[in-house]
Each structure stands twice: as structure tokens, then as C-alpha cells.
Structure 1
Amino acid sequence: MSMLMCPVCRQALTLDGKTWRCEQAHNYDVAKQGYVNLHVVQHKHSKNPGDTPESVQARREFLNSGFYQPLQQAVVELIQQLEVKNLLDIGCGEGYYTSAMQAVVEQCVGVDIAKTAVQRAAKLNPEVTWVVGTGATLPVLDGSVDLCSSLFSPIPQAEILRVLKPEGYFLVVTPAPQHLYAMREALFEQVNPHVPDKFVEQLQENFELMAQPVVENHFTLDQTQLKNLIAMTPYAYKAKPERRTALENQANFSLTASFQIYLFQKKAVI
């Protein structure tokens, strides 16, 4: 069963050869890289939305070095325990986490607004249905999803509620308070701890919190790895250039990554 929805008329999309079609005769070709673009012109606010190609490349190189593998593993194990059949990963980026999640479900859809990221993701794992689309209007059918995930990505709550099945799950990963603290200390004069529990407050009306594990990993980066990490974070453009340069000149830098995982379940509508 396809989970995809036509972004124009909201009918179900069916894959016919290399083209997704709906009953209203709208059709969307699968690109040669293996993804489909369902981000229609009327939903666009800029010509090339999402992460820059440089940021995507930096993230790919950093994640391939394995520093965030403990998080990837923890997420996959949690999904495996839930025994869900399908999942939708919102803000899938270049696919590092999505591709690993696909191994423990029957059907996996990864959506991101950044075309350059989805193009890279599609080369990583052809078993995932990779989609260029927007969280503002997820190109997914009402009540079709067992599990939605958002790892370091926006949370379009109304859309998530729409696409989730009754009692479906929502998995959020966000920085824990001390995440990359030493790096932020080097980049900014004042460092405010991350506040992950704001998401619990935002979601408590419609979702019940089921689990909230924290995953930590300590590592030392060489200069190239450190530059990639800085480039893939929002800190890259928020920090003063001279502070960023001083940090990038470090030969070795020790850090702790600290991730807050939240597992929610959609509350029954009374």
C-alpha cells in the first residue's frame, strides 16, 4: 500500500513503472537518482529551500566517520521494539538515520525539502521511498503512518496528527542540554543549554510521552572532522567569523554529543 499523496489534489499516488500517478491524472516522475519531487511550486517559498549543498556534504562526511552511530543504533533498536510496519521520516536529510531505520520496517518514506540532500540519500538506499517535499503539507495520506520521526528537524504537529494512524507513534530526537557544549563555548560568548523538554510541553495535549532515553558519546575530532561538524550545524552561520576560524584551527578537539530521544504515542480522540 502506498502512503504517498498527490500534493495538488490530495488523492492517493500509485507507482506505475517510474511514475507516481493519482486518479486526477497528476503524475510525478522518479528522477534517475531514485527520488520523487512532490514539492509543488505553490508550496515553495524560495528557489532552493533547505540545507545548502556544502552543509549536506559536511554532514555526510561527518556522519560517515561514525561519531553519531550510537544514536543511530539506539533509534533503530527503539523502532524495532515497537514492531511497526511503516514509518515516515520528516527532514530525512542525506539519509543517514532513515536508511538504517528502513532495515526494521516493511515500508519507509524519507521526506526533506532540500533536493540536494534527497539526491544523496537516494543513492544510499534504494529500498526507501525518497521524496522532496515540505513538512507544511506532508505528501502522505491521512491516517496511513504507524510511526513518524523527526530527528533534529521541525515538528509540523497538525500534519503529523493528520498522517498518523490512531495510536500511532512519534519519535523526536533533539540535542540534550549539554550537547556539544565545549564547541558552543568556543564559538559563543554566552552559551545557553538546550531545552529539549519544550517539545514535551508543545506535544502534551495530543501525545502521551512513552519513553525519554538520553544517548551520549564522547570523542576527539581532528581538524577536518571538526570543520565538518561546525559546517553541518546552525552554529556555522550564527558564530562570529573570527571565533569560528580560531576553533577550526584546533588540531584536536574533544567533545561530548548528548541526544535526547522522546517517544510519543498519539492520544485517542475522545
Structure 2
Amino acid sequence: MTITAFDALACPLDGAALQRESGSWRCASGHNFDVARQGYVHLLPVQKKRSLDPGDSKVMVAARQRFLEAGYYQPIAEAVSRATLDDAPASTTLSCLDAGCGEGYYLRQLAWAAGDERSLALLGLDISKWAVLAAAREDKRPSWVVGSNANLPVLPGSLDRILCLFGFPVYPEFGRVLKPGGKLIQVDAGQDHLRELREIIYPEIRSESKKVTPAPEGFRRVASEDVRFSLHLAGAEPIADLLAMTPHFYRANAEGRERAAALNSLSLTVDVCLHTFERVAEGD
């Protein structure tokens, strides 16, 4: 197995190709982006930010890192890795972006799953500098970038795979940077996902039928897979970490968060749907 850094990066200001020059990335127009000592590069221009410190906070990132490294979502990681590597030729290097990579757990799992027969060129991107910093500290091999899915700093048609896991897909951008025949692996929460936790923190929860995500424009559906399993959390810390790493922490009122904080154990349903979409060539 060979894990390398994906290097077909684009300037976030003018879209030109970036070239690595010692400790920075530079485009032909002279825009320069320094590589932090931890190994990541910041490609989110200030004019593209909606806040001073967008994305997950340092506390949220630490909670997610503890929870995921404990293996609670391992079945999801395994399903994502299978879908990503499916039909990938062993003789070529597969270029893969995790769009909303967080602290890099799923890319690290993918690298492990690739084994000795496949080579991967990996890029992890997140709008949270704290997430990217944590990812870069864990694994120096991929490229790690602070950036936005709405303006991916990636050259057109340069990726074989994109992962978007519990994230914010921007399909026109995904279509722009994927090669024809490249695949988008998308994971969305199902109707029963963490239902037991939601029943505790909210006064009431809506019961909706599971919606089938339509294929985005420029893509065709290849496969869909439900990943469903039970999970038991023993102790207050993993329960607190799970709540902190989800949007429910901010959506719940103070009373709901207090009810969750009082728990010492919790049995949960994990219910997600994994969609695989293929980028179709123009005219197909």
C-alpha cells in the first residue's frame, strides 16, 4: 500500500493550479499559501468565511475524535471503505477527497482498508481549522486543507472518489472536480438514527418515512446500502462526546442537554444510508 498526498490543488482565488514550493503552495499569479508546521494548508480566503472561526469548535473536534477512535462507528467506516474501493483498479493510484473530513478518521480507515494492493492519493478538507489541525497531527501522508465544499480548491476532473459523510454536499462542485466515471460516496442519517438520544433531549421528535436521495444532476445512482446496528454506551463520557459531535447539542434546549448529561448508560440505534453516485460524462 502506498499513501501519498493528493497534489492537484487549485488556488482558491483564481482557480489556477497550485505548485508546492518548499513550505508553501503558489499559483502562477503569485498567490502564496503557507503550509503550517503541522502539515496542513489554509485555502479558505477570508472573504469566503461566514464567521471568524467557521465549522466545528476545538471542543467538538476533540469529542468526535475520542468517540470515533473508540470504534463505535467502525461498521460505517468499513461500509464506506468497501464502497470507495469497489471496482478500483489495483494497478492505478486512486485519488480521493473526504469533503468535510473532520479529524480524518474515515480517511485513515480507508488507508488501512486499502491493504497492500492499492495506492491512494488522499485529500482531507474541512472548513474547521481545528478539525484539519487534528487530522494533520494524526497522519502526515494525505494532503490536509482548510477549505469549503462550496469552492473546492481542486483542479477540474482530477478526483476518482469523493466522500461526503454526514456533511454538506455541493453537487456542482463535486461534479466539477470528479473525473467522468468517478464516484461520490455519500452517507446520510436515516429516520431512526440515534432515535433513543433524540427522544431524551427533545420534547417530541418527528416520525418521517425514509426519503430516497435522488441522483444529483450530472450523476447516476450506482448503489444504496442501509447500515444499521445497535450501540451501547457505558459511562457519561461517551454519551457526552456523542452529543457534542452532533448538531443535536445546539438544537436541544438546556433541559434536554441536562437530561442527557444525567445518563450513565445509553443503548442506541445507528441507522444510516450509504449512497454511491457515479459522475456521468457530458452527453451521456
Q: TM-score range by the shorter chain?
A: over 0.9
Letter paired with 1:161: G
Residue pairs, 1:12-91, within 5 angstroms: 12-83=17-88, 85-91=94-100
Q: 1:86·1:107 contact (CA, 8 Å) conserved in 2?
A: yes
Contact 1:148 1:171 survives alignment (8 Å): yes
Q: Does 1:242 align with 2:251?
A: no
Give the C-alpha shift of residue 2 in structure 1: 2.5
Native 8 Å contact 1:176 1:194 kept in 2: no
What is the alpha-carbon distance in structure 1 between the residues aligned to residue 133 and residue 209 of structure 2? 32
Name the SS for the 2:20 alignment partner. Answer: strand
Task: Give the CA deviation at 1:255.
Answer: 0.7
Query: Which residue matches 1:253?
Result: 266
Which consecutive residues of structure 2, in runs of 5 or more, have no partner in the other structure?
A: 1-5
Q: How do residues 31-180 of structure 1 correspond to structure 2 at under 5 angstroms?
A: 31-83=36-88, 85-103=94-112, 104=114, 105-180=119-194
Q: CA offsets, 1:44-74, max 9 Å, x none?
A: 1211011111111111111111100111111
Hey, which of these two has a bigger chunk of helix by percent?
Answer: 1
What SS class does the counterpart of residue 163 from structure 2 fall into? strand
Give the Cα separation in 1 of the matches to 2:209 and 2:99. Answer: 21
Aligned length: 268
Structure 1: gaps of 5 or more residues? none
Question: How far 1:193 sits from its partner (Å)?
Answer: 4.5
**Structure 1 match to 2:3:** none
Show CA shifts across 1:177-206 (max 9, x none): 2111111111112212477635x22x3432
1:192 alignment partner, one of 206, 222, 229: 206
Partner residue of 1:223? 236
- Secondary structure of 1:106's counterpart equals strand
Secondary structure of the residue aligned to 1:159 is helix
Question: For 2:208 and 2:9, how far apart are their aligned partners in 1?
Answer: 34
The letter for the 2-side match of 1:92 is C
> Root-mean-square deviation (CA), in Å?
1.6
CA distance in 2, matches of 1:78, 1:47: 36
Does structure 1 conserve the Cα–Cα contact (< 8 Å) formed by 2:201 and 2:255? no
CA distance in 1, matches of 2:85, 2:280: 21
Q: After alignment, is 250-259 or 111-120 more displaced? A: 250-259
**% same residue:** 37
Instruction: State the distance in 2 between where 1:17 and 1:25 align.
Output: 15
- Distance across 1 between alignment mates of 2:21 and 2:87: 31
Instruction: Measure the CA separation in 2 of the matches of 1:156 and 1:195.
Output: 24
**Residue 81 to residue 194, structure 1, CA distance change in 2 (3 Å):** farther
How far residue 263 of structure 1 moved from its aligned partner, in angstroms, is 0.4
Contact kept in structure 2, 1:114 and 1:132, CA below 8 Å = yes
Question: 1: CA distance between counterparts of 2:53 and 2:209?
Answer: 30
